[in-house]
Amino acid sequence: MAIKELSPPRKAIGIDQLIAIADRAEATLAQLRDDLLEPWPRKVAPMLTASRVAKLCKIERTQIQYLCTRGNKKGEYPTGTLTGNGRNREFTLAEAQQFVRLAGPYKARPDGAQGIAIAVGNFKGGVGKTTSAVAIAQGLTLHGHKVLLIDLDPQASTTTLMGYVPTPEVTEEMTVMPMVYEEQSDLAYSIIPSYWDNLDLIPACPALFGADFYLPNRQSKDPDYQFWQVLERAMGPIRAKYDVIVIDTPPSLAYLATSCFMSSDGLIVPLPPETLDYASSASFFRQFADLFKTLADDRSVAKEFAFINIFLSKVKPRVDATDIVRSWIQQTYPELLGRAEIQDSDVVKNAAAEFKTIYDVQALGAYARAIESFDAMVDEIESNLQSVWSTRALATQASKERAHAE
């Protein structure tokens, strides 16, 4: 019997080869991003049609035309740009946001109220966490809010979607790490403007992995140190500056993630209706509950979320298994499950392949249907924001009345 000739063994991969591979990958990613998003600045905000602005304002398209012309005697409404032989209007993002503030149903943050921090979290990868975080941040600016988007995931996918290659464009000094290392007392140093009006960014890079080495070491050396308060201590100034702070969290419940959750007022959990994702969600909430109970028992740390929402993500229509797992989720989390569902769509995948977010693309056809599902999620979150601000205002007023009575 003939002996089959063996293939030569693969060459071993050492440190030098790994460094070369990493360098090549970063260079290729940077070139792809530049090719897709040239010229500089690489990303620009989209134009919005009158129909899109009308949907955001919850009014008829004809009303947009009226407010731009006969109803604009004071000149307060932006008029956009006429296109298509003067039959259509397009608005810049800034104009659309101004229009929504004037004609939309959304209330501004009350004077003196603090901004609300929302963490978007899930332990399992591939659930749409980053897509949801960026969409929530951009969607809330379309309601007229000023938003800060914080990327705390060392994988830095949010940073990439916002137009930056995490390495080498984002250094450790540009992330939250100087604050973690107590070299900075707040986060103002790390905030950069984005291409999207009224949306600022604190970027991430792989250096964030260092937080989960530094924080436990710091805690072990100083028993009085409170690692879970690291982010909250730095949030004061930005809560005053921004209406909403959206945080893309690490896919774990390690030290930096714990600090993030402790500083958040609300929690959004994207959850695909798949068996493994559903099982993972049970682990997520168990570890979550155990963590906060341990902090409460051992450190007398109290934590309460103003709201927690689960939104079904990557929903595959007309699939029997989807309906079955959806029913499990409805039975398990009836008080948390949001009404909006994000469909599993090639539109979102194609946008990401071009370093675009869902709100970067023109709302036509399949894009319009995809955007409507994200709009519905943002609308539910908006309702939560208004409820929190209203509740806090009533509590403040009651406190003042008690103080006055005394």
330 three-class SS: helix
Give the pLDDT confidence score for residue 102 in this predicted structure: 94
Residue 10 has pLDDT above 90, yes or no: no
pLDDT in tens, 60-75: 999 999 999 888 888 8
Mean pLDDT of 293-316: 92
Strands of the 199-202 sheet, one edge to the other: 192-193, 199-202, 147-151, 244-248, 116-120, 266-271, 307-315, 337-343
AA identity, residue 244 = V
The pLDDT confidence band at residue 256, using thresholds 50, 70 and 90, is very high
Q: What rounded mean pLDDT belongs to the chain?
A: 89
401 three-class SS: helix
- The dihedral through the CA atoms of 50, 55, 61, 64 has a sign that is negative
Give the pLDDT confidence score for residue 264 in this predicted structure: 96
pTM for this predicted structure: 0.89
Q: How many helices (H) and strands (E) does the chain have?
A: 16, 11
The pLDDT confidence band at residue 39, using thresholds 50, 70 and 90, is very low
Give the pLDDT confidence score for residue 350 in this predicted structure: 86
Q: What percent of the chain has pLDDT over 90?
A: 65
Domains in the chain: boundaries: 48-103, 116-405
Strands 266-271 and 48-49: unpaired
Residue 41 has pLDDT above 70, yes or no: no
CA distance 165 to 321: 37
pLDDT in tens, 338-356: 999 999 988 888 888 888 8
Q: What CATH architecture is 116-405?
A: 3-Layer(aba) Sandwich (3.40)
Give the pLDDT confidence score for residue 8 in this predicted structure: 58
CA distance 64 to 56: 11
Given a contact cutoff of 8 angstroms between Cβ atoms, the answer to whether 195 and 93 are in contact is no
Backbone dihedral region for residue 11 (phi beyond 0: left; psi -120 to 50: alpha; all else: beta): beta
Strands 337-343 and 266-271: unpaired
